[in-house]
Amino acid sequence: MGGWSSSAGDAITELPVTVEQGGTETTTLTDGGILLGSGTGAITPMGVLADGSIVIGDGTTDPTTLAAFSSSTGTLNVASGGTGAATLTDGGILLGSGTGAITPMAVLANGSIVVGDGTTDPVALAAFTSSTGDLTLAAGGTEASLTASNGGIFYSTATAGAILAGTATALQMLQSGATAAPTWSTATYPATTTVSQILYSSATNVVGGITTANNGALYTDSTGIPRVEAAPNANGWFRNLSIITATTTNANDSITIAGAGGGALNTTTNSAWVDLPGTTAGTTTRFAVTANVTILLTGAHWENGTRGDLTGALLRVLAINDNGTLRWGVALLGGRYTILTTDTTATQTSVTLAESVLTTAAVASASNTCREIGFVRSNFDDTGGAAEDLWANQTGVGDIVTGQTADGLAQPWNVAYTGFSANPAATTRWSQIGRNIFLNINTTSAGTSSTTALTMTGPADAVQVEEFIGFGADNSSNLNDPVRGRSAAASSTLTWVTNHAGTAWTAAGTKNISGHFTYEVGPAASFIE
């Protein structure tokens, strides 16, 4: 309530009631202003609040106004922790806008997620097939519920990812199904290959490889198996073959028929073939050679046993058609196109005649066509060496030759004489062309005569009686007339007399013969033409 005051003669004045008396200590208050206490001081009014402002205190001083709402009927401002919006989309994700009002996104579609770009408002991405579904292909998923398969391959169908189950069979290949699902091949393939290797079906659903060769040719054998053969190393009737030396017990005591260049022959990548005259006239038979063949020479002597050592004898290597079976043989004599069973043996110690042929196995048919594929120059140790009748193949250039006959090449032989108490010293060489034997005897010192006869042995039996002439000495003097020699049929013995008249030799002093002679090899049955 108000207070009153007066003085004599004055009018009565209304005064404000003090705070301690329950008043405001002011006579007027701002219309709409919020009143603020001031302890015992007068109440002070705030100005009328701006539209949307509220009173807010700081805990110590007079409260102040805060523009918290957009208006008295509006929304709480963002600056005051509000949304700046009166309503928000049900299920919409709220997006901040700086000091602007919060904005809601539309309700996300089924399977959509929110994704940002780092600068602007995030957007909705249809990443899953549904809220309970799978990540779509477009979003980097499989769009399918997949089960892992050990060794399986991931691929895409028209709409989703899928897994091709692994296979228990190694080395199968993945095959395209065009627009359908891929599949595993039934065939298996090699895990590795070599340079220039050719792949082919080596068995049902099995892919294997053929090793190629320089200047080789692809062909199929009699069983239809393809092979690559090396360039021919002969005159065309055999391919991919070579002769090499080998050691069975003692150094270089054996001959091996191998692939061209000495490589090992096999059934798949390195086979050879030989064409031999067939069992029917005018035909040939082709033999595949799919493994190396080794022939031990030790024990064979071809009539050189007990006659002494030889250096550089020529041994011929033969391919033999044993009535449709391929055999291999080693012979001293050439000139053969057909050999007899009786001339062949697989036992080294049975090779005692010049006409003998050492074979890989017993030859059964009565007669067998054959061809010489090459030769080896070898040294013969008669006795006292590492083995009885031991051969050691020479290894220099020209000592082992494939694709060429030994015809016309000279080699030594040891001569057995009769008619001497001390044999003459001579250089003896012989060669063969076809069935003709050529002898060269150069006596360096005469022998001591003990009888009126003079015989010597040639390197092989003669087919028939033949005569020839040479030069000689008798009773320590050179003869002016030629000496005469004669061969005996089916014998290697050559008998000599001092002249054409048949005069015998003197059983005293020294005697000798020298010259060049020839005769035809035999016996006839062993050299069927």
Task: State the burial class of residue 257 (Cβ atoms within 10 Å of its Cβ: 0-12, 13-18, 19+).
Answer: buried
- CB 256 within 8 Å of CB 297: no
Beta bridge partners of 440: 429, 516
167 pLDDT exceeds 60? Answer: yes
Residue keyed to tokens 């963002």: 78
**Any idea which architecture 415-526 has in CATH?**
Sandwich (2.60)
Task: Output the pLDDT for position 261.
Answer: 87
462 pLDDT exceeds 60? Answer: yes
Q: Which tens digits make up the pLDDT trace of 208-267?
A: 888 877 666 777 765 777 877 655 444 458 989 999 999 999 999 999 999 998 999 998
**Distances from the Cα of 83 to the Cα of 86, 89, 94, 122, 336, angstroms:** 8, 12, 9, 18, 117
Task: Output the pLDDT for position 303.
Answer: 94
- CB 486 within 8 Å of CB 465: yes
Both tokens of 297, joined, read: 């020479």
Q: Which tens digits make up the pLDDT trace of 297-308?
A: 999 999 999 899
Which of 270, 269, 308, 274 lies closest to 288, judged by CA? 274
* Beta-carbon count within 10 A of 186 CB: 11
Task: Output the pLDDT for position 236.
Answer: 59
5 pLDDT exceeds 60? Answer: no
Both tokens of 227, joined, read: 């092979």
In the chain, where are the structural domains located? 3-50, 193-404, 415-526
Task: Output the pLDDT for position 410.
Answer: 97
- CB 135 within 8 Å of CB 143: yes
Task: Output the pLDDT for position 312.
Answer: 97
- CB 55 within 8 Å of CB 65: yes
Query: How far apart, in whole angstroms, are the C-alpha atoms of residue 235 and residue 372?
Result: 11
| Pairing verdict, β 310-322 and 367-381 | antiparallel
- CB 27 within 8 Å of CB 18: no
- CB 449 within 8 Å of CB 509: yes
Q: Which of 62-66, 280-284, 339-343 shows the lowest per-residue confidence on average (mean pLDDT)?
A: 280-284
Q: Which tens digits make up the pLDDT trace of 68-84?
A: 998 989 898 998 889 88
Query: How far apart, in whole angstroms, are the C-alpha atoms of residue 522 and residue 116?
Result: 106
Q: Which tens digits make up the pLDDT trace of 399-448?
A: 999 999 999 999 999 999 999 999 999 999 999 999 999 999 999 999 99
List alpha helices for 310-458, DSSP H: none
318 pLDDT exceeds 70? Answer: yes
Q: Which long-range contacts (CB under 8 A, 24 or more apart) does 275-280 make?
A: 275/237, 275/238, 276/237, 276/319, 276/320, 276/321, 276/326, 276/369, 276/370, 276/371, 277/321, 277/337, 277/369, 278/321, 278/369, 279/321, 279/323, 279/324
Task: Output the pLDDT for position 398.
Answer: 93
Q: Which of 8-22, 172-186, 467-481 shows the lowest per-residue confidence on average (mean pLDDT)?
A: 8-22
Task: Output the pLDDT for position 232.
Answer: 46
Beta bridge partners of 471: 514
Query: How far apart, in whole angstroms, are the C-alpha atoms of residue 474 and residue 480?
Result: 10
Residues of the chain above pLDDT 70, percent? 95
Task: Output the pLDDT for position 214.
Answer: 67
Name the DSSP letter for residue 234: S
Query: How far apart, in whole angstroms, are the C-alpha atoms of residue 481 and residue 138?
Result: 115
pTM of the model: 0.60
Task: Output the pLDDT for position 529.
Answer: 62
